[in-house]
Structure 1
């Protein structure tokens, strides 16, 4: 379970890095380096900016939640192991 969560956290982290790199530092829309012209023509500049911003927030929230869940699971399993070691 912890391994699956760790892999999921790694995947979300890489996706979050890519989404952040796609953003234009001036807030003007999708960066042209990553196909921004096609995205701007397809969605329009405002809609592509909203999509990238929503993706950034969604991935960031998912990352925080998964990290907290993984920490709780690891601390609970470590606590049980510690109790077992003390009782032996």
Structure 2
């Protein structure tokens, strides 16, 4: 179900991009081609349709995004052990669940190693 909603969101986003590219920021756009003749819908109706389609697709994307988040499967994590569960065994290893070990970077200088002192030659 989430895959279907995601595909619909992608299709609507592509359609929204195409509709916005057809429009002209100064009111020309697709309607400027009909300035000499009011062919199918007329100049004003073309602009109104493109504006309504833009708002409709933007609203559709927002609603579908919210629906997609609401129906996603919830992850269940418990920090407390379940009642009747065996106690964790202490193996002596450090608990790495909250901290990460320091990872040396490649840019760090190599650690200096001490050379054993050599006795003076007699």
Asked whether the two chains share a fold, i.e. TM above 0.5, the reply is yes
> What's the CA shift string for 1:21-64, capped at 9, x where partnerless?
110111235266xxx44xx5221110100011111111111010
Paired residue for 1:69? 67
Paired residue for 1:27? 27
Which gives a bigger RCO, structure 1 or 2 (Cα 8 Å, sep 6+)?
1
Quote the Cα distance in structure 1 between the aligned partners of 2:2 and 2:59.
19
The structure whose residues are more often helix, as a share, is 1
Paired residue for 1:58? 56
Change (3 A) 1:45 1:31: closer
TM-score w.r.t. the length of structure 2 is: 0.55
Quote the Cα distance in structure 1 between the aligned partners of 2:17 and 2:29.
17
Change (3 A) 1:26 1:53: same
Paired residue for 2:10? 10
Where structure 1 has 5 or more consecutive residues not aligned to the other structure, the ranges are none
Say what the alpha-carbon RMSD is for the aligned residues.
Answer: 2.4
Q: Which structure has the larger Rg? A: 2
Q: Structure 1 segments of 4 or more deviating over 2 A? A: none
Quote the Cα distance in structure 1 between the aligned partners of 2:65 and 2:21.
22
Give SS of 1:82's match: coil
